[in-house]
Amino acid sequence: MYHTLKKTVLSAAIAISLCGCNAENAAHIETDTVEYETKTASVYIERPSFKIRNNASLADSLNKQFDDTIDSMLVAFDTASSDKGELLGTDKCVFELHIKEKYNKNGFLSIITDTYEYTGGAHGQSVWTAYNIDTVSGREVLLSDIFSHDDHIKMLDKLIENEVLKNPDKYGDLWEKPKIKDENQKNFYIAPDGLTVFYEPYDLSYYARGFVEFTLPGDEIKPFVKEEYKRLFNTENESEKND
């Protein structure tokens, strides 16, 4: 078995620390990249470490949460790969976990853990887990926490429907009409140009299609957003005025 460890810094986190724009309570993220192989398995992990200005307790909580989650996933994978690896012949079991930073400013952090696991069968399993953190209050935010409108689900469903109609080439292969359900309350992230809702493979289309994403423009959803979160959807000019 070989084992290498190297430290990298996410480029988006570098941009936040260098420019200093809206840096208050923004998170700085470093990742320890761990790679190793055994006779039956191949593992690649990006393990994040958080530092949050003026909120060290939140950083400590996130670090523990991610460490515990990753350790638990590794234990389960090691057990599965030991049991099944010999049966795969020349193929190895695979576990990969990547950290994707989507938004990190205005006192708000959106990141995704992109996990792929293969322990036999026709293909592996890909899972995105979104973490949307208000670094000012220190709490995780759901879709329902962002919107003041009582019928925000209907509003989001309508905007997604509009995206489908405007982009038939992109969404023509969906086998059902996308709807926001209870299980979708965490499946979103803040994007530079709005809010993106995502669906797992097989939710709306075939596996090879991958994740289906709908980015809803910030200017269209902002009128329905709670006052405390309108800052996430400011235009560039509005952000400059608030600096």
State which of 108, 123, 141 marks the end of a domain. Answer: 141
State which of 111, 141, 171 marks the end of a domain. Answer: 141
Same domain? 99 vs 216 = no
| pLDDT for the residue numbered 88 | 61
Same domain? 202 vs 107 = no
| pLDDT for the residue numbered 145 | 95
| pLDDT for the residue numbered 122 | 78
Q: How many domains does the chain have?
A: 2
Mark residue 54 as left, alpha or beta (left: phi above 0; alpha: psi -120 to 50; beta: remaining): left
Q: Which domain holds residue 151?
A: 142-243
| pLDDT for the residue numbered 89 | 61
Within a 13 Å sphere around the CA of 40, how many CA atoms are in the beta-carbon half? 15
| pLDDT for the residue numbered 94 | 94
Output the domain CATH number for residue 241. 3.90.640.20
Distance CA 103, CA 112 (A): 10
State which of 141, 158, 189 marks the end of a domain. Answer: 141
| pLDDT for the residue numbered 90 | 60
Same domain? 190 vs 238 = yes
| pLDDT for the residue numbered 12 | 37
Same domain? 128 vs 23 = yes
Same domain? 13 vs 131 = yes
Same domain? 110 vs 182 = no
Which parts of the chain have pLDDT scores under 50? 1-25, 237, 239-240, 242-243
Same domain? 120 vs 50 = yes
| pLDDT for the residue numbered 232 | 95
Same domain? 150 vs 137 = no
Say if strands 212-217 and 194-199 run parallel, antiparallel, or are unpaired: antiparallel
Same domain? 68 vs 79 = yes
Distance CA 78, CA 81 (A): 5
